[in-house]
Chains A and B, each alone.
Chain A
Amino acid sequence: MSVTTLSSPIMAHRQPNWLVRLFDYKPFLIVMCLAPALGLLGVFLTYPLGLGIWLAFTDTTIGRKGIFVGFENFQYLLTDPLWWNAVFYSVVYTGIATFGKFALGFWLALLLNNHFPFKSLLRAIILLPWIVPTVLSALAFWWIYDPQFSIISYLLVDVLHWRTSNVDFLGSPWPARFSLIAANIWRGIPFVAISLLAGLQTISPSLYEAAMLDGASAWQRFRYITFPMMMPILAIVMTFSIIFTFTDFQLVYAITRGGPGNSTHLLATLAFQRGIAGGELGEGAAIAVSMIPFLVFATLFSYFGLARRKWQQGESND
């Protein structure tokens, strides 16, 4: 349709001036088209990334340009129990939350892959936790975890009579850690479920029919068809999930701010506390940079660990 409206008379009668010709010159056009995106990313992403690594090797504070101090920041971090604590909790947080998200999200995706009425409405509702600002839903969790007026405590104590005292969600280290992980899983399930559902819908039903003719049980169909076919998409979604769970900030900052007694600091919240709130930009940058090896390792592990199996199976299996 658009082609017919662009009929040749309009074009032929216009005398192309030099500006039009310049913009039709392909190399110039390519540069002009890429300039805004690459400019923005260069100035506000690549440059800060390099600057961050440089800052990690200096003793910069807010308002004072630092000097190069070599590995001093990192040496200090290695002796800092708070940093080790943050590394420990970041790994635990990422590990348990990722496992929870994927187990529950995969289950939800399998459930949603069935036929039932109001499916698209349900799918829309399920994404809600993911689109609402994290901090705002985190506030709701903070209120749900309130020591005195927690609705969960009310349910357990006054309705079900399973406990005699209120649950102390955020007052001591381990309960606080698991409360945060639960909130993170809650937020992550929709994304995992909807992404995996898209993957499930690409699996051809004929594979299941063939398997059923061969007498495969429901578990066998899942283990030998669904799971291998989902590997590539699982690898990608898991890579994203691990990266953004490990570097999570909002949830912890909103609910506990690293407390009680610094037990729930993630590396990102510790970096914020030292770097921005405390003004020690160099040390904060070093904490942020110390996340990079973990991220690279996690990415390689999840990507190659899961994606390689797809390569080994090759195309002949499809």
Chain B
Amino acid sequence: MTDTVAQPSVADAKAAPDTMAWDSGLRRLMMIYLPLGCFVLILLFPFYWMAITSFKPNAELMNYKEHNPFWITSPTLAHIKHLLFNTAYPHWLWTTMLVAIGSTTLSLIASTLAAYAIERLRFRGSPYVGLGIYLAYLVPPSILFIPLATVVVQFGLFDSPMALILVYPTFLVPFCTWLLIGYFKSIPYELEECALVDGATRLQILRRITLPLAVPGLISAGIFSFTLSWNEFIYALAFIQSGANKTVPVAILTELVTGDVYQWGALMAGSLLGSLPVAIFYSLFVDYYVSSLTGAVKE
């Protein structure tokens, strides 16, 4: 995929020097490639360090004099094995997956219906409802987690993943609704009018016309919600107490960080494994991801 994209830009780059006088080779190298290289190096280094640490035996990990820390001489799977068989890591992964999928589904349903009502059913005050939902996005979780903890306790959901599935939509729904309003706007209204004339009910229109055409928007909203709920931390930290029900980010920090000597190998292996699902998910849908990120900002 990248090759096909790269071809035209190479051609463009060759055409560019004619139009831009300052674009000479060395200058271009110093002004563009060198800083870009530094950016990429710095942005990716922590991941490299995370990956290499999780495969290093403890002897190499703590001895920089005899082993070059930037490389592994005898890679080991011991940390990952320890994680998978001596801790509840698989269970944490499963809980996180469950919470992410549950809250994503819930938010997608709620925000699709809301976006359809706001953008297509057009009632008096619909722009204000849209604005209200948008403003909800500006309320940060750090302000809400204390009162929410008492609400969760009132509902008898404390220490249950169900609490997270219900609470995560508070930051997912505003985002998804806003994104989907944008997508619905791009679908020609005439299509719906035709169906109305043909006698379709509004729910049929939503199901058979609007939703199939908004699939790219739904995918964007879905992967965005999935990553956001996978990454969520403060609610999961405040509402879940027992070790087995924790999500991966919370569990690694509270269950694996023990005592004075940190098991860096296991910690980094846990971080790596916890990051992989979102990273893989992300790499499959990069284009949707970038378009939803930038689309939401542009709206």
Complex alpha-carbon distance, A121 and B230, angstroms: 24
Would you call B162 an interface residue if the criterion is a C-beta within 8 Å of the partner chain's C-beta atoms? no
Residues of chain A within 8 A (CB-CB) of B279 are: 128, 131-132
Are A3 and B209 also in contact (CB < 8 A) when A33-B121, A133-B278 are?
Answer: yes
Complex alpha-carbon distance, A152 and B279, angstroms: 26
Residues of chain A within 8 A (CB-CB) of B275 are: 132-133, 136-137
| Number of residue pairs A-B, CB distance < 8 angstroms | 326
Are A233 and B298 also in contact (CB < 8 A) when A49-B147, A131-B227 are?
Answer: yes
Number of B interface residues at 8 Å Cβ cutoff, please give it: 108
Q: Which of A122, A137, A198, A289 contacts B40 (CB 8 A)?
A: A122
Are A281 and B150 also in contact (CB < 8 A) when A115-B13, A119-B9, A143-B53 are?
Answer: yes
Complex alpha-carbon distance, A129 and B48, angstroms: 12
**Chain B residue at minimal CB-CB distance from A288:** B143
Are A2 and B22 also in contact (CB < 8 A) when A111-B39, A131-B227, A136-B249 are?
Answer: no
Q: Mark B194-213, 1 if CB is under 8 A from A, else 0.
A: 11001111111000110011
The dominant DSSP class at the B interface is: helix
Residues of chain A within 8 A (CB-CB) of B138 are: 239-240, 243, 299
Are A118 and B47 also in contact (CB < 8 A) when A33-B114, A48-B147, A133-B248 are?
Answer: no
Residues of chain B within 8 A (CB-CB) of A250 are: 233-234, 249
Residues of chain A within 8 A (CB-CB) of B177 are: 37
**Chain B residue at minimal CB-CB distance from A133:** B231
Q: Mark B93-117, 1 if CB is under 8 A from A, else 0.
A: 0000000000000100111011011
Least Cβ distance of A1 to chain B in Å? 9
**Chain B residue at minimal CB-CB distance from A117:** B6
Q: Mark A41-68, 1 if CB is under 8 A from B, else 0.
A: 1011111110110010000100000000
Residues of chain B within 8 A (CB-CB) of A237 are: 297
Residues of chain A within 8 A (CB-CB) of B49 are: 140, 143-144, 151
**Chain B residue at minimal CB-CB distance from A51:** B147
Complex alpha-carbon distance, A108 and B10, angstroms: 20
Residues of chain B within 8 A (CB-CB) of A116 are: 9, 13, 32-33, 36
**Chain B residue at minimal CB-CB distance from A274:** B146
Q: Which of A115, A118, A281 contacts B146 (CB 8 A)?
A: A281
Complex alpha-carbon distance, A48 and B114, angstroms: 21
**By the criterion CB–CB under 8 Å, are A128 and B146 in contact?**
no
Give the residue among B1, B142, B274 with the most A Cβ atoms within 10 A: B142
Residues of chain B within 8 A (CB-CB) of A136 are: 50, 248-249, 252, 270-271, 274-275
Residues of chain A within 8 A (CB-CB) of B166 are: 40, 44
**By the criterion CB–CB under 8 Å, are A23 and B203 in contact?**
yes
Interface size range of chain A in the complex? 35 or more
Would you call A317 an interface residue if the criterion is a C-beta within 8 Å of the partner chain's C-beta atoms? no
**Chain A residue at minimal CB-CB distance from B15:** A115
Residues of chain A within 8 A (CB-CB) of B88 are: none
Are A44 and B170 also in contact (CB < 8 A) when A34-B114, A37-B177, A128-B43 are?
Answer: yes
**By the criterion CB–CB under 8 Å, are A129 and B46 in contact?**
yes
Q: Which stretch, A24-32, A71-79, A92-100, A171-179, touches the partner chain B?
A: A24-32
**By the criterion CB–CB under 8 Å, are A34 and B129 in contact?**
yes
**By the criterion CB–CB under 8 Å, are B149 and A140 in contact?**
no
Would you call B267 an interface residue if the criterion is a C-beta within 8 Å of the partner chain's C-beta atoms? yes
Give the residue among A107, A114, A247, A285 with the most B Cβ atoms within 10 A: A114
Q: Which of B1-54 touch A at CB < 8 Å?
A: 1-2, 5-6, 9-10, 12-13, 16, 22, 32-33, 35-36, 39-40, 42-44, 46-47, 49-50, 53
Complex alpha-carbon distance, A115 and B271, angstroms: 35
Residues of chain B within 8 A (CB-CB) of A23 are: 201-203
**By the criterion CB–CB under 8 Å, are A151 and B69 in contact?**
yes
**By the criterion CB–CB under 8 Å, are A6 and B234 in contact?**
no
Residues of chain B within 8 A (CB-CB) of A233 are: 297-298
**Chain B residue at minimal CB-CB distance from A54:** B147
Are A247 and B117 also in contact (CB < 8 A) when A37-B110, A276-B149 are?
Answer: no
Q: Which of B169, B174, B253 contacts A135 (CB 8 A)?
A: B253
Q: Which of B240-274 touch A at CB < 8 Å?
A: 248-250, 252-253, 264, 267-268, 270-271, 274
Q: Which residues of B contact A (CB under 8 A)?
A: 1-2, 5-6, 9-10, 12-13, 16, 22, 32-33, 35-36, 39-40, 42-44, 46-47, 49-50, 53, 61-62, 64, 69-70, 106, 109-111, 113-114, 116-118, 121, 123, 129, 133, 136, 138-151, 166-167, 169-170, 173-174, 177, 191, 194-195, 198-204, 208-209, 212-213, 227, 230-231, 233-234, 237-238, 248-250, 252-253, 264, 267-268, 270-271, 274-275, 278-279, 282-283, 286, 289-290, 293-294, 297-298
Q: Which residues of A contact B (CB under 8 A)?
A: 2-3, 5-8, 11-12, 16, 20, 23-24, 26-27, 29-30, 32-34, 36-38, 40-41, 43-49, 51-52, 55, 60, 104, 107-108, 111-112, 114-129, 131-137, 139-141, 143-144, 146, 149, 151, 154, 158, 186, 189-191, 194-195, 197-199, 202, 218, 233, 236-237, 239-240, 243-244, 247-250, 253-254, 267-268, 271-272, 275-276, 281, 284-285, 288-289, 291-292, 295, 299
A-B CB contact pairs (8 Å), 10 listed: A7-B198, A11-B198, A29-B203, A128-B44, A129-B43, A191-B293, A276-B145, A281-B149, A288-B145, A295-B140
Apart from the given pairs A16-B201, A237-B297, A253-B253, 16 other A-B contacts in the complex at a CB distance below 8 Å: A11-B204, A23-B202, A24-B201, A29-B117, A36-B113, A41-B169, A112-B36, A117-B9, A126-B40, A128-B43, A131-B278, A132-B278, A136-B248, A198-B294, A275-B149, A281-B149
